[in-house]
Amino acid sequence: MSAKLPDVLRVTVTQEDIGMGVVGDCWNCPIALAVSALIDDSVEVTATELRAHETDEGGYPRPVFYELSHRARKFIKDFDDWRRRDPGPATFVLRRDKDFTR
């Protein structure tokens, strides 16, 4: 679990991430693998957002959400579509959702 995550994540999905990615698996898709390596913690990627965890001031875990850009959403869709399994390496900028109130 990361102590404090940044407001913006710049993540590069490599060909290796794509090769190791699992279709339809929110914990092991290429974007999840790339971000997990970047922040040294597991993350979950849905169709619209990325969820990670950071430690709050009291030492307790707190969820942190990042909105997926249109390009990142298309990348996931292309990866999960067996006819276009390899969308190729890409770099994405993910912005923290500061309005999260769930």
Supply the pLDDT for residue 101. 45
Residue 79 lies in a domain: yes
State the residue range of the domain holding 63. Answer: 8-96
DSSP string, the chain: -BSS--SEEEEEE-HHHHHH--TT-TTTSHHHHHHHHHHTS--EE-SSEEEEEEE-TTS-EEEEEEEPPHHHHHHHHHHHSGGG-----EEEEEEE-TT---
- Name the residue with higher pLDDT: 91 or 55: 91
Q: Using one digit for the tens of pLDDT, what is the confidence trace for 23-71?
A: 999 999 999 999 999 999 999 999 999 999 998 888 888 999 999 999 9
- Which amino acid belongs to residue 91? T
Tell me the whole-structure pTM to 2 decimals: 0.88
Supply the pLDDT for residue 88. 84
Residue 36 lies in a domain: yes
Residue 34 lies in a domain: yes
Residue 49 lies in a domain: yes
Average pLDDT, the chain: 90
Residue 3 lies in a domain: no
Number of domains in the chain: 1
- Name the residue with higher pLDDT: 15 or 100: 15
Q: Residue 4 pLDDT more than 70?
A: yes
Q: What is the mean pLDDT of residues 58-87?
A: 87
Residue 82 lies in a domain: yes
